[in-house]
Every structure is written in C-alpha cells, then in structure tokens.
C-alpha cells in the first residue's frame, strides 16, 4: 500500500541554512547596494557594476535563484528579496527583474525549454545577461484579456510571427531573452493566449520609449516593439501540441486551465510582497533610530507618545505583512491552494503597508524626511509602485473579494 507524501508543516523557523543566506544577502545589501543607492537613483540607469559584483559572488545567478526558489520551505526567495529591497528598491529590481521572466518560463515551459533558456537569462561574471517578461500593453494593463499582441503560426516555416507593442517591461529592450504574452486566438480572450521566448538578437524586436519614473529609477522600464518578429516553433512555451489541445478544449466549452500571464503573476506575488516588506522595514528601522537621537524640547522625540505610537503601528504592520508573505510563499511552494486568495492578500497588505510606513517615516523626520539628504523620501517614492504593478491594489481586492464571497465580483 503506497503512502501519500505529507505536506511539510509550516514553520516560522526557516532553519540555519536560510538564516545564513539571509545574513549573506543582507551584508551585500548593506555594504554594496545601500551606499550606491542615491547615485543610481539620480542617474536613472541600470547599475551594471553592481550586477557584476553580485554575479562575482554568485548572488546574481541562476544557481542562487533556483536554489532559493526550489527550497522546501518556500521562504528562500522572500527572505532574500526582503534583504535586497531593504538595501534599495531600484538596484534590487535590477538584480531580481530577470526572475519574473524565469518564473514565466518555469510555470509554462517544458523541461527542455527551461534547460535551454534559463541559463541565458542570467549569464555569469563578465557576461551578465538579463531577461524581461512582457505582458502589459498600452491598452491592456490589469485587463489582461485585452492584449492585442498577435502570434500567428507560419506552417511552412515552422515559425511563430509576433506583432504588437508591450509596455512597462522591466529590462524591456535591453534584455537578452524576452518572454512575450501574445494572443493566438483573439476570439477567446485571455483563454486564447500563450507565452513565447524571443531569443537574443531576434530581428524585429526593439526598445520603444524608456520611462522616467517616480521611483525605482535604477531599474530599466520601457516599451518593447514587436514588428514581424519570427521565432522558431520551439519558442512557444509548453509546445504547440499542448496549446492546440487547450484551444480545442476551450472552443468546445471546456476549461482552459490557468491563463499564461495570470499564472506567472500568481506564482510571483509572495516574492513581490517580500520586496515591499523590505522597503517598509528599512523605513521603520531608520525612523526608529532617528527618533532615538533627535532631541526636541529637551528629550528624544521617540519619548513622545505621538511618535512612539506611530512607530509601534509601523512595526506591527511590517511584521504582519511579512507573516502573510511567508504563509503564501510556503503554500505556493508546497502546492497548497490559495483558497482565500492568500497570494493576493499578502501582496495587497505588503504594498499598502510599505506606502503607509514610508509616509510615516517622512513625517517622523519632519523637514529632513522631505530632502534627498535622507533616504526616506526615496523609499517613499519607491514604495508606491507596489500598489500598481504586478496587479493593482484594486485588482487584488477584487480577487480576494471573489474568494471571500464566492461571487463574480467586478
């Protein structure tokens, strides 16, 4: 009689291995990322030297991300991302931006596709590679079903032809490997979409507008233009046979399974939440230290209940967001269904917590908090994007609302 493997118990003790990894990443964030944060925020450029330093020690590598992603607790990526974003969100997003494309590939691709393309998304020391996940479009952000980028199959050549424009793509246009979500059958909406690998140097792919952003300025964000881009048939994630079977099932009224872009976002939400937790934690720590040493009216401002109570709420909120994030990450890794939209829940709470506590940190610092001489104004700018990208707060509430009510909330 065969036994069914038990789901590992959830634990708040990640163990010595992950604690050691956390300390190692924190050291890089404290000694390399944070001292360079203001410079690269002003330059609004990809911090290639820091990527190189991270690659030299194995931090920017497929091996590191793969090891953390596949760990049985599911906590490796959240713990690492929290430390990196504690250092600086813009630089950290340059270091982690390729991982979203890697998640898209891992979620939708075959073993052969993963073996071929994952290494090309990271490269190594002296040969840094980047990847970009391209889903959003000028008229299709939260409304994924509105994607217009079209993929048509050239039977004679055995190639897919992609045409359209993507926007808000991290590493868009400068990446070596692009993962593009496109519509194969527009009549089916989101159920007629698939994801495609666009290999390095493919003709017809170009960078459009590069965006000048409110925050996360050290991360490259741009449009990606696809003009008659031809990719081999093997670049369809999951393969054509699986796509044809899925489309036939949908046309007959059956289920399509998980949609390509949404499948990627659902897997990535706990890691995105961890990024927001890192920013929020940085703000709380900095504001608390400031309150201990800033003297007004003959005593540290932290002795005033108005400040101490604010810090108490800030610390509690960040810790609560982390706990929600760890729970969702563990569930995702161990195949526990998000019956109550736990992925959306952690992302919503962490994002809104980061915005709120960075605002409160600025308030505690007063006029100093509003200047670029202190980092909290940058953290406040960086935090806001987390209520917008990877699913807005409104979309997260809609998903949670559907789970809570069992109704088709719109």
Q: Which residues have a catalytic role annotated?
A: 390
* Beta pairing class for 295-296 and 299-300: antiparallel
C-beta of residue 135 within 8 angstroms of C-beta of residue 384: no
d(CA 324, CA 342): 8
d(CA 111, CA 105): 10
Burial pattern 5-23, b for ≥16 Cβ within 10 A else e, equals eeeeeeeeebeeebeebbe
Helix, strand and coil content of the chain, in percent to the nearest 5, comes to 55, 15, 30
C-beta of residue 322 within 8 angstroms of C-beta of residue 277: yes
Close Cβ partners of 177 (under 8 Å, ≥ 6 residues apart): 101, 117, 120, 121, 129, 130, 131, 132, 197, 198, 199, 200
C-beta of residue 78 within 8 angstroms of C-beta of residue 207: no
d(CA 94, CA 217): 10
* Beta pairing class for 177-183 and 131-134: parallel
Q: Is 155 in a helix, a strand, or coil?
A: coil
Close Cβ partners of 86 (under 8 Å, ≥ 6 residues apart): 26, 29, 278, 279, 281, 282
- How far the first Cα of the chain sits from its last, in Å, is 47
C-beta of residue 300 within 8 angstroms of C-beta of residue 292: yes
Identify each DSSP E strand in 256-378 by its residue range: 295-296, 299-300
Q: Is 139 in a helix, a strand, or coil?
A: coil
d(CA 124, CA 169): 22
């Amino acid at each position: 009689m065969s036994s069914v493997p038990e789901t590992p118990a959830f634990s708040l003790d990640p163990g010595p291995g992950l604690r050691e990894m956390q300390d190692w990443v924190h050291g890089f964030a404290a000694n390399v990322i944070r001292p360079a944060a203001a410079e690269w925020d002003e330059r609004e450029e990809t911090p290639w030297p820091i990527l190189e330093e991270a690659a030299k020690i194995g931090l920017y590598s497929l091996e590191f991300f793969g090891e953390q992603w596949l760990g049985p607790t599911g906590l490796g990526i959240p713990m690492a991302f929290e430390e990196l974003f504690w250092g600086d969100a813009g630089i950290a997003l340059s270091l982690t931006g390729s991982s979203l494309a890697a998640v898209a590939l891992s979620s939708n691709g075959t073993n052969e596709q993963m073996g071929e393309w994952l290494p090309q998304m990271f490269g190594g020391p002296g040969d840094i590679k980047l990847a970009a996940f391209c889903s959003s479009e000028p008229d299709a952000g939260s409304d994924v079903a509105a994607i217009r980028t079209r993929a048509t199959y050239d039977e004679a050549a055995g190639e897919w032809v992609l045409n359209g424009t993507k926007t808000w793509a991290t590493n868009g246009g400068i990446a070596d490997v692009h993962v593009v979500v496109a519509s194969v059958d527009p009549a089916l909406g989101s159920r007629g979409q698939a994801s495609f690998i666009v290999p390095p140097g493919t003709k017809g792919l170009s960078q459009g507008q590069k965006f000048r952003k409110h925050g996360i300025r050290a991360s490259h964000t741009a449009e990606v233009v696809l003009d008659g881009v031809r990719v081999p048939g093997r670049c369809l994630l999951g393969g054509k046979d699986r796509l044809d079977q899925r489309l036939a099932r949908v046309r007959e009224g059956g289920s399509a399974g998980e949609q390509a872009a949404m499948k990627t976002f659902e897997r990535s939400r706990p890691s995105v939440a961890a990024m927001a937790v890192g920013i929020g934690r940085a703000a709380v720590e900095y504001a608390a230290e400031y309150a201990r040493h800033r003297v007004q009216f003959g005593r540290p401002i932290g002795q005033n209940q108005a400040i101490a109570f604010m810090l108490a709420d800030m610390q509690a909120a960040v810790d609560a967001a982390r706990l929600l994030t760890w729970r969702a990450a563990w569930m995702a890794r161990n195949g526990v269904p998000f019956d109550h939209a736990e992925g959306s829940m952690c992302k919503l709470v962490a994002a809104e917590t980061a915005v709120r506590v960075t605002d409160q940190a600025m308030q505690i610092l007063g006029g100093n908090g509003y200047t670029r001489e202190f980092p909290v104004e940058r953290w406040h700018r960086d935090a806001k994007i987390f209520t917008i990208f990877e699913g807005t707060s409104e979309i997260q509430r809609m998903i949670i609302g559907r789970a809570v009510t069992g109704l088709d909330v719109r």
